[in-house]
């Protein structure tokens, strides 16, 4: 029983990493829901303010990955 609880604890603790949503086309974090009704009344549609992407898909990148990528390009 305790082994199962330990595994569940590991699974749930992984999800606590902070993530940001980015555009799947240009990788900009400037992506938002198209209207305030998305996800409630209509399907979620995201719009990128940089490249104009419009669609239901976005990428989630952990904040750690983003800072590591920034450091490697410097």
Total-model pTM:
0.62
Beta-strand runs (E) in the chain: 19-22, 31-33, 46-48, 54-55, 59-62
Q: What is the mean pLDDT of the segment spanning 59-73?
A: 69
Is pLDDT larger for residue 70 or for residue 32?
Answer: 32
Which pLDDT belongs to residue 30? 96
All residues at 6 or more sequence positions from 60 whose CB lies less than 8 Å from its CB, including other chains: 19, 20, 21, 22
Among 9-13, 14-18, 19-23, name the most confident range: 19-23
| Predicted local confidence at residue 51, as pLDDT | 97
């Amino acid at each position: 029983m305790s082994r199962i609880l330990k595994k569940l604890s590991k699974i749930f603790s992984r999800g606590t990493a902070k993530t940001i949503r980015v555009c799947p086309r240009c990788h900009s974090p400037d992506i938002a829901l198209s209207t305030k009704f998305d996800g409630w009344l209509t399907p979620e549609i995201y719009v990128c303010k940089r490249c104009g992407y419009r669609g239901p898909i976005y990428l989630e990148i952990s904040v750690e990955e983003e800072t590591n990528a920034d450091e490697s390009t410097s």
